[in-house]
């Protein structure tokens, strides 16, 4: 694991230490180099494996030796310097940053404000969303795990787009996220007393994840899609609720989301369909790798409203990365995740 | 004040005790009848006026005597039993419940699930939103204060509807509210451990406030309007953020929200225009009677996104009631509110 | 499981459903009788075992049939009506209420304000604190699980009392607890907006748990002990921090808490010794069955300050109950708890 | 105001802008120099006075010109560079930092870890606690405002020490504080996701405020006092609860705290005596300049437990500074504070 000191890194360490088929052999962090893992994360203090691990500042070549898979949990813009030499040295790489989710350098520049650090690698990674790209992930050398917002959006929209059940030009999305979504960043905006007792929209109208969402939606739809995406920050540690507003394409009476979703996800191990009886609540998914999906048809407006909840650090990041790992290694997909 | 023991009641007591031109002469509460005000609300313990007040279970006729204005802060369905005799006895009434906001008994039944308790009074109250009905409020005998969500929605939408700047058939609204919005209700859903670390949509697709929002929008537009309204509950004590998605009606380039809002609200004492430079944050409005309004034009989608923030208990309830009081009594509109 | 609808009940269900050696065959709840388990607790919706369980209102005799161990997670005063017939019918009973922790009817009356409902059973239950009563629990027919505060206090004090390292007449304890400690009670004091942004002492000077703490300390010390115990409520869902102030009995220089605690708990699976380098933090224990213990010697005051942190619902209730179950059934003590 | 960008600075700005007898003429901040006040603090956006103020990086000599009183709201260690030239230039100075609360350079070094930056000024400032030093504050040129914890401790202990009602060698204090107590510091420990859902002790056994508390208690007692002080951090924005454990010196039956406190503070405008009927709760004092005091006698342990609550940013800092200002300028003591 490279960059194990952020929130997604910490959670990934937790999942890997508990994984029945994984042997975590190295954790790196510039900031904590030389410190034993339990010193930095006291919650792992009782684990024998954790006691044997010390944060290093190892270089990619060293890491490639003796490891089969390397996870990168680095801030965007920094993953390339590890991904390139690691892939070159033959390691398989699962990247949790945003750097290899986008296929086009121009889009990366537009949304991230800098040139892409390794444009030759663009388009080389499989987008690590098992519910959509399961087969490709199995064989992938290089996986780019989706962002938390995109996960909460792409999974519920895919079956609707496939069936052409909705008007693809009129999709609006309001998302609400907990504060770990911003990472363990030292910015005044994320201090306790700034976030607590505060609700606020941000990143409107062009949040960075929009680039990734529209790219993937366009692939699913087979044509360029433009949507509205508006995130809000709310004072919880973890959890995303996404509310998606869609215009029903054909006859409202004929629309049967239970059928659509049951067909698409009835067998998915980490998708729970709440139907129209229950609404999602982050407290039911926090700490798990599930995405809960609910829906309501509004006959008055002829809209289908789909709502999802997930844990931004697990299904939105580290849990999904482990789900990819399981696929890549031929483990049961749920190994270490239930 | 009738029904002073809920969150809006408590806040209204606070505002009235501090108001330079008001003499609060009676507070009623069935639950706390006989108890001194500071016993129930220790935060008022230092106020001389508060020490003189004891909760009573007074009947309307008694209350009408010796009072000029009576505030009703009762749950919906219970305001009528006070409003009728009080109005009959010549008192002016400011009702904070939902009972007299709706003009039609059928709509009330549809959204509140019971027959209206006093249909003969429907349509008799002025809708207490000073930014829209200032003149009518001045002369009103009977004022129905708007709900918190409607306040956060009607103020920003009015200038856009008036100027026909947006497509009125395609308005979507996502609101996020703190937990006091539910009142001091003893329901498991509002226990600390149920709300804390929880984000959830609710009341979708037909929250009760929708009835009031659509009624007032239809009046503003001069034709029946149907909108999408989706509230979410988030773990803060107070505050609402509302995000409104509108399709720009004409030329996007010609759309100038600063002009529209500056013209409409530049002189309003309790509307703060943040423009497109800042986004609203509940922490800037909690404890105040302000509504903050911001906007962003998204050229990609040709939408205007308008965002507001207010304190659901003050501008969304008790502060607005005092604003109405000031108008009704000829006090400066800001008296007791800044 | 009898009374599975409170916070400890819900957590116990979670632990038992995931336990490798347990088959949960019945859950009861008067309130939810007839409802499937996943309907009441959507977080278990994906578990096959959970789907097969429906809340019943079964009577004790029925329950005793076909079960080996029955857990009671009922409010105090109500456990006796189940415990008596269950024990009579030959079931082993693990009671999570306060009813059988106290040995004397007079003390129960003094602290709980009512006569004990089954005085003949007093003193019959083993106090379910494995770190102290491990051997007795193994053979017990009837176990009374300790309260959350007592667990956070008895474990750290026991080695100090045994070694006569502190002045047993001068022990003061300040505890801070999250809100689930109060249970899923419908009282206004536990509504979100009452607890959030609030810190308050309560139950001073005679909180109910004091009876249990002093009884057990007296047994450990071999003489009657009287202590000071002051709980405080703080706005987190879960977690207790307890700070214990003790006067060092002999020479301060000779006092070596690392030796004392290492000797006592070095091999305990659920006690983590932080030493004097780290202070406890509830976030490191929430979701686990650990109790973290740290200490500081203050040479200025000749005091040893011992601080603990635990999850009130797990080590303070349901996790500890499972630990007892493991001992009673000869399972590994950590089964289902790591 | 020098250093107006922290939490105490922001609150002091709020209080001074609303103060009926104060004209705030300058606000300084290195970080925000050149920015208009409402840009940095949007909550003041509607205030005419606020619109006229721009953060400057003015030097002390400039500031001394045309101002009567200068408030310093700087981190400790940095107040001296302003205090010296300002006092020299004839300005009256109210310092909210810790730098001039301590009388002895050696103590400062022991607790703050660095040499005092202006030892010649030590002992020159009046300790700005009006309930104890009211007369000295009236005439002071230089006031050092007390820390938030010391305020919550010194006010309740003073009458007990004066009357020799308690054993002064055996005082223990547990305090619980909200996160603004740490200031607007960019440290990972104060990020939202680190503090939220976390309870933890810190600064044990020698928190910096202990130096100030013991100094002032020793002055009150007329002899050197050593106490135990243990702070804890809990996830609220504002508020301190302090629980003080004292051994009653003489006959428990003769101890009458109501008499002691009524005599000492019955006329104090910002002390509210809750007696033994109510316990303090931060929610009753947050946003106010009050300190609430309650007490319980425990006959079993012969202890008097005194509990206080205050807003750490107001009575614990900026409100108290304004209270001092009012005394220094001959304004009513409550001006701008009720």
**Which chain D residue shows the shortest CA-CA distance from C206?**
D298
State yes or no: pLDDT of B4 exceeds 90.
Answer: no
B238 vs A200: CB contact, 8 Å cut-off?
Answer: no
Q: Where are the beta strands (DSSP E) in chain C?
A: 27-28, 55-56, 69-72, 92-95, 126-127, 142-144, 172-177, 200-201, 228-233, 240-247, 271-275, 291-298, 303-310
Beta bridge partners of B28: B2, B56
Give the number of other CB atoms < 10 A from CB of residue D107. 17
Contact D94, D87 (CB under 8 A): no
C72, C93 contact by CB (below 8 A): yes
pLDDT higher than 90, residue B61: no
pLDDT beyond 90 at A96: yes
pTM for the predicted model, two decimal places: 0.97
What whole-number distance in Å separates Cα of residue A281 and Cα of residue A292?
8
Say yes or no to pLDDT of B66 above 90: no
Residue among B134, B105, B140, B319 nearest B215 (CA): B105
Q: What does the pLDDT read at residue A202? A: 98
pLDDT surpassing 90 at residue C4: no
User: Which pLDDT score is estimated for D298?
Assistant: 97
Is C277 within 8 Å of chain B by CB? no
pLDDT at B56: 93
**pLDDT at residue C253, rounded to an integer:** 87
8 Å CB contact between A213 and A154: yes
pLDDT at C62 over 90: no
- Distances in Å between the Cα of B115 and the Cα atoms of A145, A268, B99, B211 are 54, 46, 11, 15
Would you say how long chain D is, in residues? Answer: 338
Over its length of 338 residues, how does chain D's per-residue pLDDT go in tens digits? 998 889 999 999 999 999 999 999 999 999 999 999 999 999 999 999 999 999 998 788 888 888 899 999 998 899 989 999 999 999 999 999 999 999 999 999 999 999 999 999 999 999 999 999 999 999 999 999 999 999 999 999 999 999 999 999 999 999 999 999 999 989 999 999 999 999 999 999 999 999 999 999 999 999 999 999 999 999 999 999 999 999 999 888 889 999 999 999 999 999 999 999 899 999 999 999 999 999 999 999 999 999 999 999 999 999 999 999 999 999 999 999 98
- Mean pLDDT (whole number) for A307-330: 98
CB within 8 Å of C95: residues ≥ 6 apart: C71, C72, C79, C83, C125, C142, C143, C144, C145
Q: Is B200 on the interface with D (CB under 8 A)?
A: no
Place of tokens 């069936």: A163
Residue in chain D closest to C237 (alpha carbons) equals: D197
**Mean pLDDT, rounded, for B77-97:** 94
Do residues A117 and A71 lie in contact, with contact meaning Cβ atoms separated by under 8 Å?
no
Which chain B residues have a beta carbon less than 8 Å from that of C192?
Answer: 179, 190-192, 194-196, 235, 237
Q: Residue D168 CB: number of other CB atoms within 10 A?
A: 22
**DSSP letter string over A53-70?**
-BEE---HHHHHTT-SEE
DSSP run (H or E) holding B71: strand B69-72
Alpha carbon of A70: minimum distance to chain C alpha carbons (Å) = 26
Q: What is the DSSP letter of A1?
A: -
Percent of chain B with pLDDT over 90: 91
With tokens 């949007």, the residue in question is: D42
Using DSSP, state whether A137 is helix, strand or coil: helix
- Total number of residues shown for chain B: 338
| 3-state class (DSSP) for residue B5 | coil
pLDDT score of B141: 97
Q: Chain D within 8 Å of C303 (Cβ-Cβ)?
A: yes
Active site residues of D: 148
**Contact between chains at A280 and B241 (C-beta distance less than 8 A):** no
Q: Please check the confidence at residue C58 and state whether its pLDDT lies above 90.
A: no
- Find tokens 């444009």 and name the residue: A119
Where helices occur in chain B by DSSP H, the ranges are 7-18, 37-40, 48-52, 60-64, 80-88, 105-112, 130-139, 148-162, 192-195, 209-221, 257-265, 319-329
Burial class (CB in 10 A: 0-12, 13-18, 19+), B39: middle
Burial class (CB in 10 A: 0-12, 13-18, 19+), B260: middle
- Burial classification of residue C81, based on how many CB atoms lie within 10 Å of its CB (0-12 exposed, 13-18 middle, 19 or more buried): middle
Q: Which two tokens stand for residue C40?
A: 């009441």
Residues D29 and C301: their CA atoms lie apart, in Å, by 41
Q: Is the pLDDT of residue A66 over 90?
A: no
Judge: C199–D239 Cβ closer than 8 Å, yes or no. Answer: yes
**The B291-298 sheet, strands edge to edge:** B200-201, B228-233, B172-177, B240-247, B303-310, B291-298, B271-275
pLDDT band at A286 (very low <50, low <70, confident <90, very high): very high
- The predicted model gives C44-55 an average pLDDT of 93
| Ramachandran angles phi, psi of B119, nearest 5° | -60, -25
Do the beta carbons of residue C24 and residue C49 sit within 8 Å?
yes
- Write the CA distances from D218 to A282, C258, D127, D263, integer angstroms: 52, 34, 14, 22
Q: Give the pLDDT confidence score for residue C130 in this predicted structure.
A: 98
Q: Give the span between the Cα atoms of D46 and D50, in whole angstroms.
A: 8
- Find chain C residues with C-beta within 8 A of D227's C-beta: 301
Is residue D239 within 8 angstroms of chain C, CB to CB?
yes
Rounded CA-CA distance D213/A137 in Å is 62
Residues of D in Cβ contact (< 8 Å) with A185? 191
- The yes-or-no verdict on residue A4 having pLDDT over 90 is no
Confidence of residue A52 (pLDDT cuts 50, 70, 90): very high
Q: How many CB atoms lie within 10 A of CB B40?
A: 18
* A191 interface with D at CB cutoff 8 Å: yes
CA distance C187 to C200: 16
The ipTM (two decimal places) reads 0.96
Mean pLDDT score of chain A: 96
Q: What's chain D look like in SS3?
A: CECCCCHHHHHHHHHHHHCCCCCCCCEECCCCCCCEHHHHCHHHCCCHHHHCCEEECCCHHHHHCCCCEEEECCCCCCCHHHHHHHHHCCCEEEECCCCCCCCCHHHHHHHHCCCCCCHHHCCCCEECCHHHHHHHHHCCCEEECCCHHHHHHHHHHHHHHHCCCECCCCCEEEEEECHHHHCCCCCHHHEHHHHCCCCEECCCCCCCHHHHHHHHHHHHHCCCCCCEEEEEECCCCCCEEEEEEEEECCCCCCCCHHHHHHHHHCCCCCEEEEECCCCCCHHHCCCCCCEEEEEEEECCCCEEEEEEEECCCHHHHHHHHHHHHHHHHCCCCCCCCC
Contacts of A287 in chain C (CB under 8 A): 287
The shortest C-alpha distance from B174 to chain C (Å) reads 22
Interface test with chain D among B10, B43, B272, by most D beta carbons within 10 Å:
B43
Which pLDDT band, with edges at 50, 70 and 90, does C252 fall under?
confident
The whole-angstrom separation of Cα B193 and Cα C182 is 10
Query: Measured between CB atoms, which of B178, B179, B188 is closest to C184?
Result: B188
Tell me, what's the pLDDT at D252?
86
Q: Which residues contact C266 (CB under 8 A, 6 or more apart)?
A: C273
Sign of CA dihedral D58, D62, D67, D72: positive
Alpha carbon C257 to its chain centroid, in Å, reads 24
Cβ-proximal residues to B221 (8 Å cutoff; 6+ apart), any chain: B161, B168
Interface touch B192/C197, C-beta < 8 Å: no
Active site residues of C: 148
CA neighbours closer than 13 Å in the CB half-sphere of residue C325: 30
**Is C296's pLDDT higher than 90?**
yes
Query: Residues B27-36: pLDDT tens digits?
Result: 999 999 999 9
Q: Is D259 on the interface with A (CB under 8 A)?
A: no
Q: Position of tokens 């208009």?
A: D36
* Share above pLDDT 90 across residues of chain A, in percent, rounded to a whole number: 91
């Amino acid at each position: 694991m490279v960059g194990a000191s952020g929130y997604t890194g910490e959670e990934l360490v937790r999942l890997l230490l508990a994984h029945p088929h994984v042997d975590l052999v190295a954790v790196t962090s510039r900031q904590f180099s030389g410190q034993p893992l339990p010193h930095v994360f006291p919650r792992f203090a009782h684990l024998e494996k954790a006691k044997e691990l010390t944060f290093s500042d190892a270089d990619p070549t060293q890491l490639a030796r003796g490891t089969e898979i390397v996870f990168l949990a680095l801030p965007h813009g920094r993953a390339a310097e590890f991904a390139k030499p690691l892939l070159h040295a033959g390691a398989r790489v699962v990247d949790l940053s945003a750097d290899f989710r986008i296929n086009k350098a121009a889009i990366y520049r537009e949304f991230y404000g800098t040139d892409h650090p390794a444009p030759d690698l663009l388009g080389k990674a499989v987008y690590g969303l098992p519910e959509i790209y399961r087969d490709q992930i199995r064989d992938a050398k290089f996986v780019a795990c989706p962002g938390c917002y995109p996960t909460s959006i792409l999974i519920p929209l895919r079956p609707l787009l496939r069936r052409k059940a909705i008007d693809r030009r009129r999709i609006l999305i309001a998302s609400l996220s907990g504060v770990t979504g911003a990472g363990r960043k030292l910015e005044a905006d994320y201090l306790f007393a700034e976030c607590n007792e505060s609700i606020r929209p941000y990143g409107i109208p062009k949040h960075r994840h929009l680039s990734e969402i529209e790219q993937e939606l366009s692939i699913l739809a087979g044509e360029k899609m433009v949507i509205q995406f508006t995130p809000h920050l709310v004072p919880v540690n973890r959890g995303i609720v996404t509310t998606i507003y869609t215009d029903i394409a054909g006859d409202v009476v004929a629309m049967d989301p239970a059928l659509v979703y049951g067909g698409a996800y009835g067998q998915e191990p980490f998708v729970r369909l709440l139907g129209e009886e229950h609404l999602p609540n982050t407290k039911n998914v926090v700490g798990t790798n599930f995405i809960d999906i609910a829906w309501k048809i509004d006959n008055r407006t002829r809209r289908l409203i789909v709502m999802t909840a997930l844990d931004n650090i697990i299904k939105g990041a580290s849990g999904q990365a482990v789900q990819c790992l399981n696929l890549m290694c031929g483990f049961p997909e749920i190994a270490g995740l239930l």
